[in-house]
Amino acid sequence: MESVANWYSTTLSGWLPKEVFIFLVSMVPLIELRGGIAIAKLLQIPLLKANIICIIGNIIPIPFILLFIRRIFIFMKDHNILKGLVEKLEARAAKKSTGAEKGQFIFLLLFVGIPLPGTGAWTGSLIAALFEFERKRTYLAIFLGILMAALLIDIIFYGVLGIFLH
């Protein structure tokens, strides 16, 4: 994340506000809120401001994934557009979702909320969409997972005292 923050500082800082940058970073798959908050700390953005920006940035793609990804994947496979990548993503989602049928809410909450490689709101949404989890509970579980991830990342990058002093 340090190299991304340095790249921003040397390349984009003159024309793109750092708040917009962490907002956009938080929307990117795999990086998401975790990377956004880490970069916000490196760019010296205050904790509360960083959290609000990164949480909103991470949430925005979720409804679109849940509503459209299945249709997009079907279209892409039918028209041989990145078919291999789509099949790889579907296989990855299937592998990550083992055991998710039971306790979908808790599964999604923990899957999104515990910041491990390959987890997060994007992958959680992909799993929920592909396996047709109930939508209202899915939105809530993912939202609460994002908040949980934000808190854990805050502790890691801003420190326990940093959370309470800002």
Bigger pLDDT: 46 or 5? 46
Average pLDDT on 124-149 reads 94
What pTM value is reported for the model? Answer: 0.86
Average pLDDT on 55-82 reads 94
Q: What is the pLDDT of residues 20-46, one digit of tens each?
A: 999 999 999 989 999 999 999 999 999
Q: What is the pLDDT of residues 94-105, one digit of tens each?
A: 787 776 667 899
* pLDDT of amino acid 101: 66
Domain boundaries, the chain: 2-59+160-165, 61-151
Spatial CA neighbour of 28 closest among 114, 123, 97: 123
**C-beta pairs of 101-107 under 8 Å, 24+ apart in sequence:** 101/131, 104/128, 104/133, 104/134, 104/137, 104/138, 104/141, 105/137, 105/140, 105/141, 106/141, 107/141
Average pLDDT on 47-64 reads 97
Q: At residue 166, does pLDDT exceed 60?
A: no
Average pLDDT on 58-71 reads 95
Highest-pLDDT range among 2-16, 26-40, 83-97 = 26-40
